[in-house]
Structure formats: C-alpha cells, structure tokens
Amino acid sequence: FIMVPRASVSAERIYEVLSTENSVKDPSAPKHMEQTKGLVEFKDVSFRYDGAETDVLEHISFTAKPGQTTAFIGSTGSGKSTLINLIPRFYDVSQGSITIDGVDVREIPQQELRDKIGYVPQKGMLFYGTVASNLRYADHSASQQQLEESAQVAQASEFIGELEQGYDTPISQGGTNVSGGQRQRLSIARALVKKAPIYIFDDTFSALDFKTDAKLRKALKGYTEDATVLIVAQRVSTIMHAEQIVVLDEGKVVGIGTHEQLLK
C-alpha cells in the first residue's frame, strides 16, 4: 500500500515534465540562411532564468568574427556558459538580440540554426555504439577520411589506433569504457566532423593535460581557419592566443581585448 501513493506522486511529476510547454519555439515566419559566414554579434544582451529575481547576464555586447577565436574567461558563476548557450537557443535572451550574419537567432528555425554550430559541452557525452558511429552523430554521411581528419585534430587518432578494433571499437552508453580525457577528445572530434561555420567549446579543454591541450589548439587553428570559434576556458594558457578575450564578472563584461591588451 505504501508503493501506491509513491507511484502516484511519481506519475504526477512525470506528467508535469511531459506537459511543460517549451519556451523556445520556432518562428512563425522563419528566415533561412543559405551561405553562412558565421559573424556572431551580441547587442545589449541580458538574460534571466525563469523565476529568478536578478539577471545572470547584463548588457552584453561584442562581435565574434569568422576566422578568429573569441574566448571567455571569468570566475565560476560569472555567466560564461550561460552566455554561449544563448547562441544555439538553449535559452532565449531576456533583452537585446543575438545575430548571425545580421539575422536574429530567434528568427531562424532551431534545427537550421543548430546545424550551423559545432558544439562541445563541458562534459563530453558519448552514446552506445562504436567510435565511428559516435563521430558520425554530427554528420551521418561523413566519410572515413573525415572521421580520421577530425580525430587527428582532436588528438584522438593515437589512442583510437591503439584500440583493438580501431574505429569499430564498441562504446558503452555514456562512454564509461574510455577515460575522461579520451571521452572529451572524441566529443571534440565529433563536433569537428560537422565542418560548421561556428564552433562553441564550453570549457572543453579542462579535462586534457597541458601538452595535449596545446597540440589540440594548434591543430584546431588550422582546421577552423575560416570559422568563428568561441571558447570558454578556465586556463589562461588555453586562450592566450585568441584574437579577442571577453572577461566576465558577475554577468557583466569588464574587459575585451587580446591577452597583451588586457595585461596593460
């Protein structure tokens, strides 16, 4: 008898989740992007989570250009991850606008918008299948050569080559049968397979040792030379050579410039 009320409460909670209306919706009159250069612009952007009393981000303005790396640095809780998660519309801005090539992201269908972005979250997630099927998750038609090129840039090709079945090696759900660093490198390789005009790396490199981090960033620079690259980082060494560094503190921009300019 004790299980009945528990089951009832659980069912109610599940119903609440399933019946929750998605606040991020596709536009009724969408705008389509044929050729995307990847110019990302934040114009006086503020953001507040539903039910919160204060803004997490306040009056953020900057431009991230194609062929350049824009990096974000700041203390924990300064709003770095929230900021970049507004670009693929995981949330919508509360004020201001975010545009790609001059088009407001809220006017672009979600699928089309996210197809333009190679995104690697803080915690790399792998799926049940093989190394190859995980890398092809971003582009199901990707050739073996594309997989190998992406793995090379992500510094994953060496350990893949050491696996008994190589790219056909089974991956367990969540990638629990590979190390944290290997999981992160495979997540990076998966995003690179996409050949997107915009790449977002949300504190992606922190799981890597300094040597691998440096080699990956050097290879990444050549691979993404025409793309807009946005990086959230904890290590200063990761973003020292970025063309633009945005410093955040308590949801506000307190500095923008190169590493040398910000040191002055």
pLDDT tens for each residue of 11-47: 878 877 776 666 777 778 788 888 889 999 999 999 9
151-193 tens-digit pLDDT:
999 999 999 999 889 999 999 999 898 888 899 999 999 999 9
**Which contiguous run of DSSP H or E holds residue 201?**
strand 198-202
Q: Which residue has the tokens 């545009």?
A: 99
Query: Taking the domains of the chain in order of start, what are their residue ranges?
Result: 39-116+197-264, 126-195
State residue 21's pLDDT score.
Answer: 66
> What is d(CA 79, CA 47) in angstroms, rounded to the nearest whole number?
10
Burial 103-136 (b: 16+ CB within 10 A, else e): bebbbbebeebbbbbbbbbeebebeeebbbbbbb
Rounded CA-CA distance 167/135 in Å is: 9
Q: Same fold for the domain at 39-116+197-264 and the one at 126-195?
A: yes
Question: What angle is formed at CA 30 by the lines to CA 43 and CA 79, rounded to 5 degrees?
Answer: 35
CATH (residue range 126-195): 3.40.50.300
The predicted model gives 53-62 an average pLDDT of: 95
Query: Helix or strand or coil: residue 193?
Result: helix
CATH superfamily to which 39-116+197-264 belongs: P-loop containing nucleotide triphosphate hydrolases (3.40.50.300)
- Under 8 Å between Cβ of 199 and 167: no
Contact 98, 105 (CB under 8 A): yes
The pLDDT, as a whole number, for residue 226 is 93
Write down how long the chain is. 264
**Contact at 8 Å (CB) between 119 and 88?**
yes
In the predicted structure, residue 1 carries a pLDDT above the cut 60: no
Residue 84 backbone dihedrals phi, psi, to 5 degrees: -75, -25
Contact partners, residue 262, CB within 8 Å, separation at least 6 = 245, 247, 255
Strand-pair category, 57-64 with 40-47: antiparallel
Give the C-alpha separation, 242 to 226, whole Å.
14
